[in-house]
Structure 1
Amino acid sequence: MPIYLCLLECCARLSKFTAMASLSHRQSWSLAVLVAVFPCLLCARADNEAPTISYRTGTSEVRVTFFATDENNRLVQAIDRNDFAVVDGDVVIRDFRSLTRSRETKLDVVVLVDASESVAPRFHAIADQVQRLISRKHSGDDLSIITFSELRPAILCTADCSAATVESKIRSLTPAGATPLFDSLAFSAGYIADRHMPGVRQVLILLSDGNDTISRSSARQALDAVIGTGALLYTINQNKTARDLKGSLALQEMAEATGGRSFSAQDDAADVLEAALADLRASYVVTYPLPSRMAGFHSLRILPKHNMNLRFHCRRGYFYDEDR
């Protein structure tokens, strides 16, 4: 097992004794404990800063859907149980009940389009991207479009969006007003939840600059709502430069927290749709016994065991609710 996985397990054990280290500075082992515990404090800080996730389970088994990419961000098609370990809270899981290919075969795509004043200079290009995305939709996959500006989102079309219908509607929009990004994510999550079907992967593609100016919902509540559906969020950053770091980072963090991916404005929405489909085909489901029945949030990470160039994409955690 890699040294860093061993250290994670040591962090969990040593964290129980951090209070003891402060009892006496005269004890000979105090420095050793401090050196050992300091990396653990960094681990804990990273976990505390992660977004709160509302995926919930009340069963004795945890199921995690994931896919992997290599150092060149290319999908890895073949994964086995010796390639990775799951870190569930402070427990390193290496023995799994099962590892299988995902049985999801179709996509249900919701495209969430920022039509607020902040993206006005790029809105014509955004509309073109949406048009190309519709033209690349695969037969059998569903696609809906939601736009947002001013005080609330609006459904442009549902499931059967045709190129002609969307073109006339989206071209008639004038980007203006404030940006209710978080409210729109929460609204889209409710829309997605009502459409859930077995064997269908739900995907939310967001075209925005990542800046919210008017929502009642917080970023945490919005992300909570999206993760609660099990949908993957793919964001397309509409900031043309690196000046707006806050919005860009928000888009990246939200996408990665769901197990999705983030893209730049130079990436076409149609190509992002193809990427979501490719991710679907390369996905696996790993199951393992619930490591702790402590109610509340359990953080999740999947880490490589041998090939350190692998990156595993999955949701960042779940809530355990004993009553469910």
Structure 2
Amino acid sequence: MAIRPNRLALAAFSVGLALILGLAPRVTAQEDKPLRLDVKLVSLFVNVTDQKGAIIGGLTKDDFKITEDGRPQTIQVFERQSEMPLNLTLAIDTSSSTYKDRYIEQQAAKKFVGALIRSQDQMNVLQFATYVTELTGFTNSVSKIDHGLDGLRGAGGTALYDAIYLGSQALGKKDGRKVLVLVSDGGDTVKGTTYPEALEQALRNEVMIYSIIDVPIEASPGRDIGGEHALITLSEQTGGKHFYIDAGGLDKAFAQVSDDLRTQYMIGYYPHNQEPGRPFHRIDITIPRASAEAFNIRHKTGYYADPQKARD
């Protein structure tokens, strides 16, 4: 008995053979198209002040020069006093050493929130002592944030680096500017997240850290200089800033943070001519027309290009 070939099978075989031999014109046309790579825009929020701390406004894109790992980059995006939405985590130290300042922290923080938060902004509130606790999820409701601040409680140790790690992770899921404001007397006394892990998490999630350092007695021999230095360095590395609570109190420190956030330049570029194999790319921004001593330029020091490894 003769087997009659199936017409559908023959048609499928013919199409497959044409594809293998490169006879299908549509496939060939697609293969001729240039390969496009999705290069991520690197966004930088930059503050420029003079030697007395006064804000420098009126700069243009042409005033700035950017290098990545020493290689010049082309600025593609430039905005002054960016109106980009602000995502902010307010993390307050409620360990035993800060107990006496609890009420002052609550009231000053409420004033800060009321003056800063706009309809397009989002804020959450964390407290950290031995553990890190979220008091308010991300919201633009001032009343909800105030209610969370009324719940400040705590005692025991200081999980500072845990607060930075967890706060940065939460901010990393948001779009727009990401800012972590820390209120602490410095020093991490809980065995958990390390300083390098906290800093890496902030940089990976593009978080700027603003440290408000509460030092009751500046000349006290019991001051945790190491903790203060860590807060200062974290702020510098991420493009934020540190403030001491001085004669103006916490109200003044919060006002300085608010002013700083409202006077930033947003600069963006698409990296090119990168050195392959680098997990971390270091960024430098200069204003060539000015002398090296004329301006203070603050921005994050770089970014991670490699995927993050899971933490044990």
- TM-score strictly above 0.5: yes
Partner deviation per Cα, 1:146-193 (whole Å, 9 max, x = no partner): 00111x2101112235265235312xx2x4101111011111112212
C-alpha distance in structure 2 between counterparts of 1:85 and 1:114, whole Å: 38
Aligned residue in 2 for 1:17 = none
TM-score (structure 1 length as normaliser): 0.70
* CA displacement at 1:208 relative to structure 2: 0.8
Alpha carbons of structure 1 residues 58 and 181: separation in structure 2 relative to 1, 3 Å: farther
After the TM superposition, which residues 38-117 of structure 1 pair with which residues of structure 2 at under 5 Å, given as runs? 59=39, 62-91=42-71, 93=72, 96-101=74-79, 104-117=83-96
Gaps of 5+ in 2: 1-36, 308-312
Alpha carbons of structure 1 residues 291 and 320: separation in structure 2 relative to 1, 3 Å: farther
Q: What amino acid sits opposite 1:306 in the alignment?
A: R
* CA displacement at 1:215 relative to structure 2: 3.6
Query: Which stretch of structure 1 is more off in the superposition, 268-277 or 109-118?
Result: 268-277
Aligned residue in 1 for 2:226 = 246
C-alpha distance in structure 2 between counterparts of 1:222 and 1:58, whole Å: 28
1:316 matched to 2:298: no
C-alpha distance in structure 1 between counterparts of 2:178 and 2:306, whole Å: 24
CA contact (8 A) 1:304 1:311 kept: no
C-alpha distance in structure 1 between counterparts of 2:256 and 2:126, whole Å: 17
CA contact (8 A) 2:282 2:303 kept: yes
Aligned residue in 2 for 1:302 = 285
After the TM superposition, which residues 183-194 of structure 1 pair with which residues of structure 2 at under 5 Å, given as runs? 183-194=162-173
* CA displacement at 1:82 relative to structure 2: 4.5
TM-score (structure 2 length as normaliser): 0.73
CA contact (8 A) 1:104 1:201 kept: no
Aligned residue in 2 for 1:169 = 151
* CA displacement at 1:259 relative to structure 2: 0.8
Aligned residue in 2 for 1:293 = 275
Aligned residue in 2 for 1:138 = 117
1:221 matched to 2:197: yes
Partner deviation per Cα, 1:227-258 (whole Å, 9 max, x = no partner): 22212111101123154322221111101111
C-alpha distance in structure 2 between counterparts of 1:88 and 1:229, whole Å: 18
1:306 match: secondary structure: coil
Partner deviation per Cα, 1:265-288 (whole Å, 9 max, x = no partner): 135254144224313xx3131425
Alpha carbons of structure 1 residues 157 and 97: separation in structure 2 relative to 1, 3 Å: closer
* CA displacement at 1:261 relative to structure 2: 1.0
* CA displacement at 1:300 relative to structure 2: 1.7
Alpha carbons of structure 1 residues 121 and 291: separation in structure 2 relative to 1, 3 Å: farther
1:203 matched to 2:203: no
Alpha carbons of structure 1 residues 164 and 192: separation in structure 2 relative to 1, 3 Å: closer
* CA displacement at 1:291 relative to structure 2: 3.3
1:210 match: secondary structure: coil
Q: Of 107, 127, 137, which residue of structure 2 is paired with 1:147?
A: 127
Aligned residue in 2 for 1:128 = 107
Q: What amino acid sits opposite 2:301 in the alignment?
A: R
Q: What amino acid sits opposite 1:317 in the alignment?
A: G
Q: What amino acid sits opposite 1:190 in the alignment?
A: Q
2:54 match: secondary structure: coil
* CA displacement at 1:80 relative to structure 2: 2.9
Alpha carbons of structure 1 residues 181 and 164: separation in structure 2 relative to 1, 3 Å: closer
Alpha carbons of structure 1 residues 107 and 62: separation in structure 2 relative to 1, 3 Å: closer
Question: Aligned-residue CA RMSD in angstroms?
Answer: 2.6
Aligned residue in 1 for 2:12 = none
How many residues are treated as equivalent by the alignment? Answer: 255
Q: What amino acid sits opposite 2:201 in the alignment?
A: A
Gaps of 5+ in 1: 1-56
